Amino acid sequence: MATQQSVGRWVAMLAAVVLLAASGCSSEPVAPASIQKAQAPAVATPADGAVPEWAKVSPLQIDSARKAVVPVAKEIVLGGGITMKLVLIPAGKFTMGEGNDQHEVTLSKPFYVGVTEVTQAQYQAVMGTNPSNFKGETNPVDQVSWIDATEFCKKLSEKTRQAVRLPTEAEWEYACRAGTATAYSFGDADSALGDYAWYGSNSGNTTHPVGQKKPNAWGLYDMHGNVWEWCADWYGSYPTGAVTDPQGAASGTSRVLRGGSWFYNPSDCRSANRNGLTPDFRIINLGLRVVVSVSALGL
């Protein structure tokens, strides 16, 4: 049985929004004063304030964080007032793909996912450039190739000493579905897509600032639409049987893109829809979102 002191330490860790200095030195987790005073059993739910207000996470995510003894949300400081928010995605099992492509995937470890696509301000802070066609600090960066996207992750990893990377295709779909088995993270009806996504019918042929539409059940915004998001995998045929932590095809000519964009039809924005382009391809509806692996220290 855990002592009150050890539970208190866990509560502080769960509640912490980890601020990672852009200098490369990670700071100590800082719990808000209201949390520091809270009693252990009373802060295990979002209603008790254990989660930052911006993190629209589910009880499942909070439980996953408690079991892994890591914060359910973290915020990376990039300098100049720019930050990047991420939430913990629980380990689990789901049915990936649709139709004849359906197969069972197990993701064995929890991982953090950016709550939004990478913005132009974030990209500028890390790379010192902004290649976007549609300018706006809080718009997603566009016109990034897979090579650019992986370089962004590499530089951000060096800055933060965190394992920053692109999601695998399986991680992306699992995070997008957020526990659902429907065409979209909110159900099967195209008619609701406008509440969650910028796509061909409502975008006005441009990207939009991230996070304006409704999030999915795990607090992720714009998984459907706005910009396509590069995944780490080579585009290839799915496995026919159940797999654990799949990394995609061993080789190929195209890298996976997911989620549709401001230019596309509803069906292109489905949770299971796949696309792929050569790694050097840049166009005005391609962007990215990052994953951060959970480290041994949980920071």
Q: Which residues bind Ca ion (CB under 5 A)?
A: 222, 226, 259
Q: Rank residues 106 and 138 by Cβ distance to Ca ion and give the closer one.
A: 138
Q: How far is the CB of 293 from Ca ion (least distance, A)?
A: 21
What is the Cα–Cα distance from 24 to 207, expressed in whole angstroms?
32
What is the Cα–Cα distance from 74 to 72, expressed in whole angstroms?
7
Residue 241's CB is within 10 A of a number of other CB atoms, namely: 7
Virtual CA dihedral for 273, 277, 279, 283, nearest 10 degrees? -100
Q: How far is the CB of 152 from Ca ion (least distance, A)?
A: 16
Q: Rank residues 57 and 175 by Cβ distance to Ca ion and give the closer one.
A: 175
Q: How far is the CB of 237 from Ca ion (least distance, A)?
A: 24
Q: Rank residues 114 and 248 by Cβ distance to Ca ion and give the closer one.
A: 114
DSSP string of 73-120?
EEEEEEETTEEEEEEEE--EEEEESSGGG-EEEEE-S-EEEESSPPBH
DSSP3 helix / strand / coil % (the chain, rounded to 5): 25, 20, 50
Q: How far is the CB of 264 from Ca ion (least distance, A)?
A: 10
Q: How far is the CB of 33 from Ca ion (least distance, A)?
A: 36
Q: At what angle do helices 146-160 and 120-127 cross, to 10 degrees?
A: 70
Give which of 267, 254, 196 is closest to 226, Cα–Cα.
196
Q: Rank residues 18 and 232 by Cβ distance to Ca ion and give the closer one.
A: 232
Per DSSP, 204 falls in state -
Q: Rank residues 29 and 287 by Cβ distance to Ca ion and give the closer one.
A: 287
